Amino acid sequence: MRSSVIVVLSLAWTGGVRGQDMRDRMRVADDEKGTWPYKDAYRKGRAEADQQLKDQCATIDTLGFGAWPAERLDRGTGLPCYLLGCMMSDEILGRIGGHNDRIREYLKQQGYPKCSYKPWEKELFGLKAYTESRR
């Protein structure tokens, strides 16, 4: 298997990816990015992301059971996570890479879409501190 598959599987297996950025979880080796299935899926993932942004229902794609955050939200973007399953292939990795890259480009250019929970990060991820501060 390729090294990137091992990296993602080891992170998913340990469940130690919760606080990391989704991009770090889905790192793909440069040799995989050159394959035809990866490139084709990458373009499809970008097109899916464009449609989601147009419909104001953007998500962050992920895979692997251990990478699925308990909150079902990507803390970096405030967007809901969409689990594509546990099986890995060039097509799945390409789709996730293209989709998430396009979402991040949009965030840099336009800011957070309406469907993002980022404005409520303090309340969602630090509920105990938030309630104590409101007393």
Q: Does residue 58 register a pLDDT over 70?
A: yes
Instruction: Give the mean pLDDT of the chain.
Output: 75
Exposure string over 9-43, b if 16+ CB within 10 A, otherwise e: bebbeeeebeeeebeebbebeeebeeeeebeebbe
pLDDT exceeds 70 at position 92: yes
- What is the distance in angstroms between the CA of the first residue and the CA of the last residue of the chain? 54
Global pTM?
Answer: 0.67
**pLDDT for 13-31, tens place per residue?**
333 344 444 444 455 544 4
CB 115, CB 56: distance < 8 Å: yes
Average pLDDT over residues 69-77: 76
Q: Does residue 4 have a pLDDT over 50?
A: no
